[in-house]
């Protein structure tokens, strides 16, 4: 951190999230994987995947996430309102119908623009699911 800058403004993103999003002053979006993975998720329930939004340009407006349909996977990709704060928390949700491993492509756009180079505003995320454990109350019941 440079002396005098707000914490979390312009340096590397500290997070345990699997991805991070950075928006520059021209509203260009850069999404990147971090060193953390998304663990295998149980089928049949919604799971949030959180990520930090670092807004180096103090941009306000909408951050939109788009994803291509993937068989057996539901994505809930909400629009995030950028407040102009240097750091916000974002998330989307995923739900699996069956155990699987999928490659989900997500694209992030700020202010309705493509957001710089498309290669930097899109990301492939490998997601895994497994069968939900059977509740203990149902084991052995007739």
Q: Look up the CATH number of the domain holding residue 97.
A: 2.60.40.10
Select the more confidently predicted residue: 110 or 77. 77
Inside any domain, residue 1: no
CA distance 126 to 37: 9
Which residue, chain included where needed, has tokens 């799971």?
47
CA distance 36 to 95: 20
For the whole prediction, is pTM greater than 0.85?
Answer: no
pLDDT at 134: 64
Token pair of 83 as six digits? 């407040």
Inside any domain, residue 12: no
Mean pLDDT, the chain, integer? 84
Inside any domain, residue 100: yes
Count of structural domains within the chain = 1
CA distance 75 to 103: 13
Range of the domain at 27: 19-135
Inside any domain, residue 58: yes
DSSP 2-52: -TTSPTTSSSPPP-SSSEEEEE-TT--EEEEE-S-PPPPEETTS-EEEEEE
Inside any domain, residue 56: yes
Q: Tell me the pLDDT tens digit for each residue of 40-69.
A: 999 999 999 999 999 999 999 999 999 999
Q: Tell me the pLDDT tens digit for each residue of 5-35.
A: 444 444 456 889 999 999 998 889 999 999 8
- Which residues have a Cβ under 8 Å from the Cβ of 111 and sit 6 or more positions away? 27, 59, 61, 62
Q: Where are the beta strands (DSSP E) in 40-121?
A: 41-42, 47-55, 60-67, 73-76, 80-83, 87-96, 101-110
Inside any domain, residue 11: no
Once rounded to an integer, what is the mean pLDDT over residues 66-91? 95
Inside any domain, residue 123: yes
pLDDT at 9: 45
- Which residues have a Cβ under 8 Å from the Cβ of 119 and sit 6 or more positions away? none
Inside any domain, residue 43: yes
């Amino acid at each position: 951190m440079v002396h005098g800058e707000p914490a979390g403004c312009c340096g590397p993103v500290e997070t345990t999230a699997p991805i991070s999003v950075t928006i520059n002053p021209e509203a260009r979006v850069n999404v990147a994987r971090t060193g953390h993975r998304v663990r295998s998720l149980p089928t049949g329930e919604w799971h949030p995947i959180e990520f930090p939004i670092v807004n180096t340009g103090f941009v306000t407006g909408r951050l939109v996430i788009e994803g291509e349909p993937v068989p057996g996977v539901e994505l809930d990709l909400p629009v995030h309102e950028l407040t102009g704060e240097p750091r916000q928390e974002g998330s989307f949700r995923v739900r699996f119908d069956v155990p699987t491993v999928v490659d989900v492509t997500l694209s992030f756009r700020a202010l309705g623009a493509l957001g710089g180079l498309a290669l930097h505003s899109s990301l492939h995320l490998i997601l895994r699911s497994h069968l939900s454990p059977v509740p203990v109350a149902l084991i052995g019941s007739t």
